[in-house]
Chain A
């Protein structure tokens, strides 16, 4: 059924997606919402890699690990957005550069 697909397809796709996530974090540094979405994209790229290798080796460990990554990503999004909401309440903006009080 999957005769035509190779691991290279998945590696290329996840590499491209991961790089786009990094570039997105770099370019949207001031907008925390987009930064969080870029982190989700990077986690998705990692998941694609795991699923690809699970399919390549024919065992389920990669899929199980991907399952746990999914859980952690959901928890991370919830906590990140909660922090974003209280940060916005305190500052009235979501600019990361404004969060510099801990700078020495």
Chain B
């Protein structure tokens, strides 16, 4: 039963990965990427890594795929022109893939070893290890995310000339005596 489920998820994963690479429009490619990540999450759960499977769905589908979608929709790119000369090199690409697959297959070929029984307490176990033994890498990965966020903001920040910004120094130096005038206009005449 588990093996059957694995084959279903794996074939959908491979098929949608192919669609990611050869979809006509990048929006479709991103949607197939989401299908890929869902199936990979299901495969992780089959392997006993429930927490990681859920994390994959949250991080990839919730953050990375949405980021890709935003960028694909924001950029006005001539995708048809990019696609046109892609098919010219397919024999070499296929050869490259076949050679790589053969080599990976030669490395990975050994007698099948079945998985031991999963305990079903994956999340608790990961929490126990992650916050004790791997605490420093955990913190460093948080720092890495902070750096990535700051970098992405700084890279894409644009200073437009017509945007009004705060100028703290000048604003603090203003004297109310020079900028505010007290008048006492008469009725019906207004401020002269």
Contacts and interface: CB of A to CB of B under 8 A. Distances in A.
A18 B14 CA distance: 10
Contact of A4 (B1, B72, B74): B1
B182 interface: no
B152 A82 contact: yes
A37 B148 contact: no
A5 B100 CA distance: 24
B141 A28 contact: no
A2 B82 contact: no
A60 B125 contact: yes
Of A19, A52, A95, which is in contact with the most chain B CB atoms at under 10 Å from its CB?
A19
Contact of A75 (B29, B33, B85, B144): B144
Contact of A78 (B22, B77, B93, B148): B148
Contact of B85 (A18, A30, A86): A30
A78 B149 CA distance: 7
17 contacts: A1-B118, A3-B117, A4-B3, A4-B6, A12-B108, A17-B17, A21-B17, A23-B97, A47-B52, A55-B48, A63-B51, A66-B52, A67-B130, A71-B141, A77-B64, A81-B68, A82-B152
**Top-10 shortest CB links A-B:** A75-B148, A24-B21, A15-B104, A11-B108, A23-B97, A4-B3, A6-B112, A82-B152, A2-B115, A82-B155
Interface of B: 1-3, 6, 10, 13-14, 17-18, 20-22, 26, 29-30, 33, 36-37, 40, 43-44, 46-49, 51-52, 55-56, 59-60, 63-64, 67-68, 71-72, 74-75, 77-79, 82-83, 85-86, 89-90, 92-94, 96-97, 100-101, 104-105, 108, 110, 112-118, 120, 122, 125-126, 129-130, 134, 137, 141, 144-145, 147-149, 151-152, 155-156
